[in-house]
Chain A
Amino acid sequence: MKLRNLICLFLLVPAIVFSAGTQETGKSKEVVLNWYSHASSLGATEQTIIEAFNEQNPDITVKVIELPEATNDKLQALLIALQSGDSSIDFFNADVTWTATFASAGLIEQLDPYMSASERNEFLPGTIEAATYQGKLWGIPFRTDAGVLYYRSDLLEKYGKPVPKTYEELFATAAQINNAEGGGLYALVGSLANGEGMTCNAVEWFYSNNGEVIGSDGSIRINSPQNVEILSLMVDAHKNRLMPEGVLSYGSGDARASMFQGKQVFMRAWPKAYAMGQDATKSQVAGKLGVAPLPKGPQGTSGKSVVGGWQLFLNKNSKQKDAAIKFMKFYASEYAQKLHALNDSYLPARRSLYADADILAKYPYYSLFPSILESAVARPQSPYYAEISAILSAEVQNAMKQSKSPSQALADAQKAMMNVGK
């Protein structure tokens, strides 16, 4: 065989293969935006919103590219793409905890020039706070979330108990009801498996007792008497079987299962559990669920919920920033957020929608959220959030499973957190 023929063959095959991909380009002046979004079965709402946007902006096409299901996989996929300078991603859905990481790494565009103060005021303060890092705005929130307390309204009514305002009251109430019901009931459950669920619960415990994790000046403040106090309270509750024995391996699904099987008096969960809990095919406590703000600790002023939710970030390397901003704002508009609330029970990030008649008719308990969300806390704002959260989760678990005392666990967490980033 001739060498030249072979070389030709080697060159020709890739040329044919790769040329197939380049034929689409070169139409008119139409702008094509790539939006990296959730991989959800509820994608229909996104499509409706895109169609509505296209009616006003026929020259802009928005393509939805789905991201992996798990939040951590999303983060990794985006970080790898953005760090390599990929400009094909124009904007993307981002978790509230990502702000500091992406902003400090210089991967996303600062949004202050695009969002006036009055525009920002239309959003709940917690959502803007979560999109802010070092005094600058980096994201447009379109969905928020906050931990809430679920309770068995039938049991509280039967025994004439009010919805507890403090954790001590909560455990006492549940213990009394459990005795009266002849046992078999746990007081509290949450997603305390190692990971982000554990972090969210622990942050709520600390802040509900006037404690902190990272102060506003950036100093580590996890080892405080307030935090030790509330953690000891939870360790005792776990030890005394006021929480399910296996709660340290419970994800949010396991926690809901325990509640929906009627084995709990109280549960800490996200608002989306409500719709599931009222579905009689999935829950034995349908019609017996109440939702309330989280209780506070012995030294707390009020119960604090952790802010969850999603926002849109703009890729620094996007070549179509103005068009992207146009769509991002549209996706965070009242129209779009209302659609998501009605279709997918997303909590809106806009204040006005909590007074919306259609939404309140469908979800009456949404009226609770303005006050819960006004006082909600963001998770620790740090570029090293992933490490801070891992330490927090593991050390709180060390205390909960009683391999360390609460004060030892928090002292170790303090030490480990102070070493992060060094």
Chain B
Amino acid sequence: MKTLSRKQFGYLCITPTILIFAVFGIYPVLRTILISLFRFRLQTGPTKTFIGLENYIRMLSDTRFFEALLFTLAFTILTVSCEVVLGLLFAQMMNLPIKGQGVLRVVVLIPWAIPTMVSGFMWKFMVHDQYGVFNQILMSVGLLDSFIPWLSQDGTARFILILSDIWKTAPYVSLLILAGLQTIPASLMEAAEIDGANALKRYFRITLPLLKPVLATAILFRIISSFKVFTVIVALTNGGPGYATESLTMYTMRTYFDAGNYGYGSALATFTLLLTCVIALFFTDVIKNKIDVGRRGTR
């Protein structure tokens, strides 16, 4: 029996992780892709019929799919852009050397710490058409003449979903950005100040460029999770009214689990996966580049 080299021992140590990843990560994905090529339904028993790309062709003529895709894209773009802008603002505020900084940081994080289902029900209560505080405030400041049934109309229901997601997740983004802010050396700022750069110039010329790698990471995280939005919709509208707030993930879940249409549901899931991968690939490229820029800057 020979003894293990250091390198061999290292491989041995990561074997469990790789095995677990293969079993719980890679295998289900591959199987989903495979099933998407079959006609396979709960109701017709365990037989699978190979139909090639027919499930994907069906997606092209599925208006419910396109509605869900459009809503999901709009939701992602709006929530992520608002969250990044607000996150930058909050992070700057939390980074100010003021009294009560610690308290401020904790308070800002509260929305993010509340479970999504709970915050969803809170919002549902707040925007209720009969006793919602949202309506009462807007009416008392004279913005509304009568109560609005926020969750019963397409536009307002979408708006409330986006608003509640921003409220909940902007703190998370600001936390990531705050971490980035704290890595920017104070000496850089001082030097710029001596050179006569004003606060605005310092922010756009020094702070933002140095934040880019952190920002790119935060945006990537947010795009991916925003794209998979599900829980908050279940809590607030359950996809309604009609199909107005049905996200891609929700449609996939309903097709796969509720309807038992495993073939078509897998095709929808595969499509979502591919789209997410494309976004992620684009961003890993950006992150890599920006980190280089960042290094050059701090050197």
Contacts and interface: CB of A to CB of B under 8 A. Distances in A.
A249 B12 contact: no
Contacts of B238: 193-195
A245 B241 CA distance: 13
Nearest to B254: A390
A246 B260 contact: no
A155 interface: no
A1 B44 CA distance: 55
A324 B254 CA distance: 32
Contacts of B148: 245
B9 interface: yes
B2 A194 contact: no
B240 A387 contact: no
A401 B153 contact: yes
Interface residues of A, number: 43
Q: Which of B124, B148, B157, B257 has the most CB of A within 10 A?
A: B257
Nearest to A398: B242
Interface in A220-260: 244-249, 254, 257-258
B151 interface: yes
A27 interface: no
A401 B152 contact: yes
A101 B42 contact: yes
Interface in B1-56: 1-4, 9, 12, 41-46
Nearest to A5: B1
A400 interface: yes
A1 B10 CA distance: 12
B239 interface: yes
B38 to A, nearest CB: 15
B264 to A, nearest CB: 11
Nearest to A186: B130
Of B2, B45, B243, chain A has the most CB atoms within 10 Å of the CB of B243
Contact of B3 (A1, A198, A263, A395): A1
B194 to A, nearest CB: 58
Contacts of B149: 244-249
B130 A258 contact: yes
27 contacts: A2-B1, A2-B3, A76-B257, A79-B257, A101-B43, A104-B43, A105-B43, A193-B238, A194-B238, A244-B149, A245-B147, A246-B128, A246-B129, A246-B150, A247-B152, A248-B152, A248-B240, A249-B150, A249-B237, A261-B130, A383-B43, A386-B259, A387-B261, A390-B254, A397-B240, A398-B242, A421-B43
